[in-house]
């Protein structure tokens, strides 16, 4: 299913908010020291771990992730590859508004356990948009 058709039917489309998208995704330093000799190999390991997390998120029908973090082009390409829209550099005030009106609980890190309280329905953002519009 392509991105556009995925959003036409918003009945099964969800979002999450992740405060620190980049941290805690990589293996621990001991693993890096023991198994990874070079920087390219370390980065490869990091991106493989990240891709595994994105695959899990995708299976949960998460189509949008908001984060205040700035994400590099390579990681953005992993999101696109997994048909997940990443809205990075989201300002704190916007995140607070989304949290307030939707009741969603944010994740600190992407590798935390994903619970129903962390998942918001994309339709609720459309409602939020209409609430914020001037009359």
Q: Which residue has the higher pLDDT, 95 or 72?
A: 95
User: What DSSP designation does 133 have?
Assistant: S
| Adjacent-strand bridge partners of 15 | 64, 120
Domain regions of the chain by residue span: 17-23+38-130
Report pLDDT digits (tens) over 74-123. Answer: 889 989 999 999 999 999 999 999 999 999 999 999 888 999 999 999 88
Name the fold adopted by 17-23+38-130.
Answer: GroEL (3.50.7)
The reported pLDDT for the residue numbered 33 is 52
């Amino acid at each position: 299913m392509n991105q556009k058709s995925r959003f036409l039917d918003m009945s099964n489309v969800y979002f999450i908010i992740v405060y620190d998208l980049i941290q805690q995704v990589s293996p621990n330093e001991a693993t890096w020291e023991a198994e990874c000799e070079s920087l390219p190999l370390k980065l490869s390991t990091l991106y493989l771990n990240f891709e595994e997390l994105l695959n899990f998120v995708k299976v949960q029908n998460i189509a949008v992730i908001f984060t205040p973090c700035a994400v590099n082009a390579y990681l953005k390409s992993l999101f696109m590859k997994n048909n997940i829209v990443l809205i990075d550099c989201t300002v704190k005030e916007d995140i607070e508004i989304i949290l307030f009106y939707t009741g969603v609980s944010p994740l600190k890190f992407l590798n935390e356990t994903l619970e129903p309280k962390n998942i918001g329905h994309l339709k609720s953002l459309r409602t939020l948009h209409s609430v914020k519009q001037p009359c």
